[in-house]
Amino acid sequence: MPAEPNPRPPAPPRADLRWHGAERPPTTQEFVLAALRRAITTGELPPGRPIRQDAVAAELGVSRVPLREALKTLAAEGQVVYRAHRGYAVAELSLDDLLEVYRLRALLESEAAAVAAGRFTPAQLELIAAAARDVERASGAGDLVEMITANRRFHFALLEPCGMPRLLRIVRTLWDATDAYRAVYYNSEDNRERVRAEHEQIVRAAAEGAADRLVALLDAHREHAVAALRATIPAGRPTA
């Protein structure tokens, strides 16, 4: 009997890049960017995975033009890397990268929170409390994508009353670069419970306008995340 041909090696699993949100973003580029962010955050596009532009564009039903623009945005944030002759790939997670981002966040967010603490209106305090409740609901449901979204809403509701748009633009860029790390942290039920308890204290400090306590609580909040991630994120910086 003729020899059986060698079977093909199995193809790597494809990421599900279809839109799963309640409301699709308004422009094609924003849609592509949001879909890629979600896939990276949830691990559907894991660290190191090459991004095949033709396949991604076909799956999303878009041309390569908005995809290229979205990839440039993600590259500027450090979420993907471009390698000559090989194209884009999802960035590897790196403890040194995380520590640098969180150090910058500590400097900028402490300043913003200290200023904001003296300016909170009742309406702004309700936005903060409502976002904290959304984080808790998403955590209880195990919905990490929604938890990350609500957590970002919570933190920027705290910071935006500082009235420093340039500072906040930089902080948003730093947040964009670390959603994948946040997903790793939230994967633990213990960490999710810690987030809930810490948010509760932060809401109370904001309501009391206690600037020093608010800054200290936010510092501890970041430090606990970094301490937990040290055990799971490799040291050093990712290789190009």
Burial of 139 (0-12, 13-18, 19+ CB in 10 A): buried
User: Domains of the chain (ranges plus CATH)?
Assistant: 28-90 (1.10.10.10), 95-229 (1.20.120.530)
Contacts of 195 (CB under 8 A, 6+ apart): 135, 139, 151, 186, 221
Predicted local distance difference test score (pLDDT) of residue 141 = 92
Q: Are 23 and 39 a contacting pair, CB within 8 Å? A: no
pLDDT (tens digit per residue) in 15-53: 556 555 545 667 898 899 889 988 888 888 888 899 999
Q: Is the pLDDT of residue 166 over 90?
A: yes
Average pLDDT over residues 218-230: 95
Secondary structure (3-state) at 89: strand
* pTM for the whole structure: 0.77
Please, where are the H alpha helices in 117-210?
122-141, 144-159, 165-176, 179-186, 189-207
Predicted local distance difference test score (pLDDT) of residue 42 = 80
Q: Are 29 and 66 a contacting pair, CB within 8 Å? A: yes
